[in-house]
């Protein structure tokens, strides 16, 4: 800074000119102000004031002469002598020499110390040379460098730099990205980021490498980064690895089924594929995507893509009659249907070509429309074809004990009173009514004596059968004869499956062996022996050969049970056994009686003849005995057969 008053060059931080004592504030905006500047100015002015007159005159002379001025700051010289003056600075080197210790000289030395000497150019060069020689003269004391301290500081700086670099690389995202770019171990986040940068630059191979490393690292930590995986899929597609991309998209929506992006990309790949079956896979994937994400766009896309479901002309539901249905596609596609709940459509279905008949029962219809490899959603409907059953018939006679013969009327149930199609089948012989039982004609019928059970069922136009009416009466009048009894009604000369063959042959002759035969329900060895009155069949039992069946067509040397024999009339034979008086059925058959001990019934034959058949248990209850009379169309018995029936 130049003093405006005297032209002296002063330091920038100076407040007053060290030469003339003028204030330098105007040129130094950072110079002290206030009390500090006043104190500094006063001290400087005093220093100038106390300067020797000779020195001040020399300064003024040099200023007037306009000589070049160079400021040569002189370093302080420290006096090492023991008798050196006790100054703040022991040695002040100025133009006037070293101070002598007086107070006045100290002040002059202070002024000389802070007042550079002004020399001409030549003088300045000489002064610089002298100063350099003084500081570099032999024997001159120089301060030594502390290399230990320098090394320690350098080591500390190196540790700080290393730690900072380590923390930067390991703890910051920028550092991790730097490691990833260098191919070093880095976080998955940095790998995804660097891979995306490479993908943006067009480095697809490098991007895939970074993405795959990131995917592997996330997998180790149980993380699914959907956004990153989608980038990897895009990179696969850009690199032509479409199958890898499709597999990756499938992996994504399997792990995170609620995200739609992977479905969209995989569907796009399938739709653009030329492989057989990929269109169908795309259709199924659209359906899955809609179910998992709830995104309506998948539902709309699929409806526009696949055929519409088939239609039927009969709404599913409950019906009380048999039906026919037609299954069609309004788009004209083929329709395959099935009623099997486990069949796979369309392969396991039937091509619809004509109306389908629905019989009584429950039918679950499934059908699809097919356009090439595209299959519609299933049409699904359940048809319940259940014809109504009539109510149980009613009896006009209350169950009770009656002392006289009684007549009974039968009526349909209350809900069927006006139904003209109701048919009532009934029995009084003790058997359960069926299609071969008498049909009630609306007229009352007589009840026989003893314990009588009236049984009846109603049948409607759908051939549905009602529950059975079963009413028990006791009519205290003479009851019919007992039924056929195996023990009491055995022939006098033999007992079935007890009398041995040799005993039978002794009584009736050996007969002629006709050969081996089989008997119904009997799995033992059997032989037939013919006689002039008929034949006898012998069976091998655990005790030897025994009589199993005797058949006669003539008046044999023995008579049948209760004095019956060939040549008797139907009426005579029937009169010897129990008969409940039941009327004939529409077929002409007639039940005689039915109980837990046995049955009796008359069967009409094609030739007009009849079979009168009685059955009962053997005395030990282990098997049946059967007694059968066959008549001709005139009602005369032409044969009699007694047999063992296990």
pLDDT in tens, 427-447: 999 999 999 999 999 999 999
In a domain, residue 277? The reply is: yes
More confident residue, 398 or 136: 398
Looking at the structure, do residues 35 and 72 belong to the same domain, yes or no?
Answer: no
Given a contact cutoff of 8 angstroms between Cβ atoms, the answer to whether 288 and 259 are in contact is no
DSSP-derived secondary structure letter, 500: B
The residue among 441, 475, 509 that closes a domain is: 475
User: Is it the case that residue 369 has pLDDT exceeding 60?
Assistant: yes
In a domain, residue 619? The reply is: yes
Looking at the structure, do residues 366 and 412 belong to the same domain, yes or no?
Answer: no
SS3 at position 286:
helix
Looking at the structure, do residues 277 and 177 belong to the same domain, yes or no?
Answer: yes
pLDDT reported for residue 38: 46
User: Is it the case that residue 333 has pLDDT exceeding 80?
Assistant: yes
CATH number for position 214: 1.25.40.10
In a domain, residue 410? The reply is: yes
In a domain, residue 115? The reply is: yes
pLDDT reported for residue 55: 56
pLDDT in tens, 4-60: 667 666 666 667 777 776 776 554 555 555 444 444 555 555 555 555 555 556 656
In a domain, residue 481? The reply is: no
pLDDT in tens, 85-94: 444 444 444 4
pLDDT reported for residue 156: 86
DSSP state string for 382-451 = EEEE-PPPPPPPEESS-S-EESS--EE-EE--GGGTT-TT-EEEEESSSSPP-TTSPBP-SS-EE--SEE
Looking at the structure, do residues 185 and 229 belong to the same domain, yes or no?
Answer: yes
pLDDT reported for residue 53: 58
Looking at the structure, do residues 508 and 629 belong to the same domain, yes or no?
Answer: yes
- Domain count along the chain: 6
User: Is it the case that residue 608 has pLDDT exceeding 50?
Assistant: yes
Looking at the structure, do residues 599 and 635 belong to the same domain, yes or no?
Answer: yes
User: Is it the case that residue 75 has pLDDT exceeding 60?
Assistant: no
pLDDT in tens, 86-116: 444 444 444 444 444 555 555 555 444 444 4
Given a contact cutoff of 8 angstroms between Cβ atoms, the answer to whether 185 and 179 are in contact is yes
The residue among 353, 385, 417 that closes a domain is: 385
Looking at the structure, do residues 8 and 79 belong to the same domain, yes or no?
Answer: no
pLDDT reported for residue 425: 98
CA 143 to chain centre: 87
Looking at the structure, do residues 318 and 297 belong to the same domain, yes or no?
Answer: no
pLDDT reported for residue 182: 83
pTM above 0.75, yes or no: no
pLDDT reported for residue 320: 87
At CA 269, angle to CA 263 and CA 271, rounded to 5?
100
Looking at the structure, do residues 639 and 506 belong to the same domain, yes or no?
Answer: yes
User: Is it the case that residue 80 has pLDDT exceeding 50?
Assistant: no
The residue among 257, 272, 305 that closes a domain is: 305
Whole-angstrom distance, CA of residue 100 vs CA of residue 105: 7
In a domain, residue 141? The reply is: no
Question: Given phi > 0 = left and psi -120 to 50 = alpha, else beta, which region is 566?
Answer: beta
Looking at the structure, do residues 332 and 420 belong to the same domain, yes or no?
Answer: no
DSSP-derived secondary structure letter, 2: B
The overall average pLDDT reported for the chain is 83
Average pLDDT value for residue range 452-478: 95
In a domain, residue 493? The reply is: no
Q: What is the residue range of 39's domain?
A: 1-49
More confident residue, 594 or 130: 594
More confident residue, 78 or 254: 254
In a domain, residue 332? The reply is: yes
pLDDT reported for residue 48: 52
Looking at the structure, do residues 116 and 169 belong to the same domain, yes or no?
Answer: no
User: Is it the case that residue 249 has pLDDT exceeding 60?
Assistant: yes
Looking at the structure, do residues 291 and 407 belong to the same domain, yes or no?
Answer: no
């Amino acid at each position: 800074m130049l003093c405006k008053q005297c032209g002296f060059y002063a330091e920038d931080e100076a407040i007053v000119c060290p030469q003339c004592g003028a204030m330098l504030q105007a040129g130094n905006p950072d110079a002290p102000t206030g009390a500090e500047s006043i104190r500094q100015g006063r001290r400087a002015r005093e220093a100038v004031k106390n300067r020797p007159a000779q020195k001040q005159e020399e300064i003024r002379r040099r200023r007037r002469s306009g000589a070049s001025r160079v400021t040569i700051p002189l370093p302080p010289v420290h006096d090492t002598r023991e008798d050196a003056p006790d100054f703040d600075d022991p040695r002040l080197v100025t133009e006037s020499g070293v101070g002598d210790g007086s107070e006045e000289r100290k002040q002059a030395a202070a002024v000389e110390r802070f007042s550079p000497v002004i020399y001409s150019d030549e003088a300045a060069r000489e002064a610089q040379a002298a100063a350099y020689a003084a500081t570099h003269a032999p024997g001159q004391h120089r301060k030594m460098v502390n290399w230990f301290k320098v090394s320690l500081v350098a080591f500390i700086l190196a540790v700080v730099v290393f730690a900072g670099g380590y923390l930067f690389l390991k703890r910051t995202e920028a550092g991790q990205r730097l490691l990833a770019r260098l191919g070093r171990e880095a976080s998955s986040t940095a790998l995804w980021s660097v891979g995306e940068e490479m993908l943006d630059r067009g480095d697809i191979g490098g991007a895939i490498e970074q993405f795959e490393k990131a995917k592997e690292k996330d997998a180790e930590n149980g993380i699914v980064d959907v956004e990153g995986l989608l980038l990897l899929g895009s990179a696969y597609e850009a690199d032509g690895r479409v199958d890898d991309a499709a597999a990756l998209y499938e992996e994504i929506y399997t792990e995170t089924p609620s995200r739609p992006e992977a479905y969209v990309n995989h569907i796009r790949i399938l739709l653009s594929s030329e492989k057989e079956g990929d269109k169908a896979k795309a259709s199924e994937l659209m359906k899955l995507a809609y179910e998992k994400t709830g995104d309506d766009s998948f539902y709309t896309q699929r409806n526009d893509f696949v055929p519409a479901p088939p239609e039927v002309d009969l709404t599913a539901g409950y019906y009380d009659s048999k039906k026919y249905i037609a299954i069609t596609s309004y788009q004209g596609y083929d329709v395959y249907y099935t009623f099997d709940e486990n069949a796979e459509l369309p392969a396991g279905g039937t091509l619809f070509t004509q109306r389908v008949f629905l019989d009584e029962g429950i039918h679950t219809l499934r059908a699809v429309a097919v356009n090439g490899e595209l299959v519609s959603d299933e049409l699904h409907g359940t048809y319940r074809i259940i014809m109504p059953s009539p109510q149980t018939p009613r009896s006009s006679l209350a169950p009770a004990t009656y002392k006289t013969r009684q007549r009974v009327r039968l009526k349909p149930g209350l809900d069927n009173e006006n139904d003209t199609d109701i048919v009532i089948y009934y029995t009084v012989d003790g058997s359960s009514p069926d299609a071969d039982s008498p049909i009630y004609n609306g007229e009352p019928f007589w009840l026989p004596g003893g314990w009588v059970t009236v049984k009846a069922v109603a049948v409607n136009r759908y051939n549905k059968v009602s529950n059975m009416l079963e009413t028990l009466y006791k009519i205290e009048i003479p009851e019919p004869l007992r039924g056929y009894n195996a023990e009491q009604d055995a022939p006098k000369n033999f007992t079935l499956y007890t009398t041995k063959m040799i005993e039978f042959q002794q009584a009736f002759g050996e007969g002629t062996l006709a050969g081996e035969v089989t008997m119904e329900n009997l799995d033992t060895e059997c032989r037939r022996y013919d006689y002039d009155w008929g034949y006898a069949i012998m069976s091998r039992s655990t005790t030897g050969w025994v009589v199993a069946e005797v058949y006669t067509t003539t008046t044999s040397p023995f008579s049948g049970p209760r004095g019956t024999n060939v040549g008797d009339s139907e009426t005579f034979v029937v009169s010897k056994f129990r008969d409940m008086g039941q009327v004939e059925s529409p077929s002409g058959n007639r039940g005689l009686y039915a109980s837990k001990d046995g049955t009796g019934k008359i069967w009409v034959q094609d030739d007009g003849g009849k079979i009168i058949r009685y059955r009962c248990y053997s005395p030990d209850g282990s098997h049946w005995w059967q007694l059968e009379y066959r008549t001709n169309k005139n009602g005369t018995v032409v044969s009699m057969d007694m047999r063992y029936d296990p």
